[in-house]
Amino acid sequence: MERLTITRRTWVLAASFLTIVGLLYLWFRGGGTDYMNLPPSARGPWVAFGDSLTEGYGASEGQSYPAVLSRALGFPIVNAGRSGDTTATALQRLDEVARLNPRVALVCLGGNDTLNGESRSQMISNLGAIIDRFQQEGTFVVLIGIRSASLRDKQEQLFRELAESKRVLYVRDMLRGVAFKPVYMSDAIHPNDAGYQRIAERIEKALRPVLGDIKPGETTR
């Protein structure tokens, strides 16, 4: 009876250990998050969708963050940034971009909503609709946060909760480590070449754990 008890206890411990190992493997392989559309079924190009911070206002030619990130990753990224866009105006042109069937969409919007004093709840609702539209295409979405224009960031939690609810990769506060540092800024709002370089490096780092599943494949055109 004692031998049987020890054997049963050993089996339970071994099964528990294997379960933990399996969960840890899935955690590290997926970055600890069950992302939607990983890997993506969409076969189009990578797309950066946003406002002037995506378009590259304040940068030299070819130095926007999508251009810098494209060179670092070794494949093209379509720059679908448009200066002045709010989440609402971006929604109006979303279908045109979604028709590209983007494999990955880097979404960075909300800065102009903040500057214009738009409702935060409406901003998050619009961003949610943008994410939903891309995900319908089988796109892997990366949400890039924008901090509020206040001493304490009032938008971080909203962006994070949205990313969690939509199961998308989240990059916190696009201008973190860049804003308010003259060496990285072309004006009070927009980075310079060095600032966009730093932003691209942060995004690339965030992408590394999933890059093998989302980079363009041989069938991608």
pLDDT (tens digit, 9 = 90+) per residue, 21-68? 444 444 444 445 699 999 999 999 999 999 999 999 999 999 999 999
Q: What type of residue sits at position 81? A: G
Give me the pLDDT at residue 155, please. Answer: 84
- Phi and psi of 145, rounded to 5°? -75, 155
For residues 180 and 153, the model is more confident at 180
Structure tokens at 89: 């105006």
- Going by pLDDT thresholds of 50, 70 and 90, the confidence category of residue 107 is very high
Q: What is the pTM of this model?
A: 0.83
CATH number of this structure's domain 46-214, picked from the four choices 3.90.700.10, 3.40.50.300, 3.10.620.30, 3.40.50.1110:
3.40.50.1110
- Going by pLDDT thresholds of 50, 70 and 90, the confidence category of residue 15 is low
| 156 class by beta-carbon count within 10 Å (0-12 exposed, 13-18 middle, 19+ buried) | middle
Most confidently predicted of 13-22, 26-35, 151-160, 172-181: 172-181
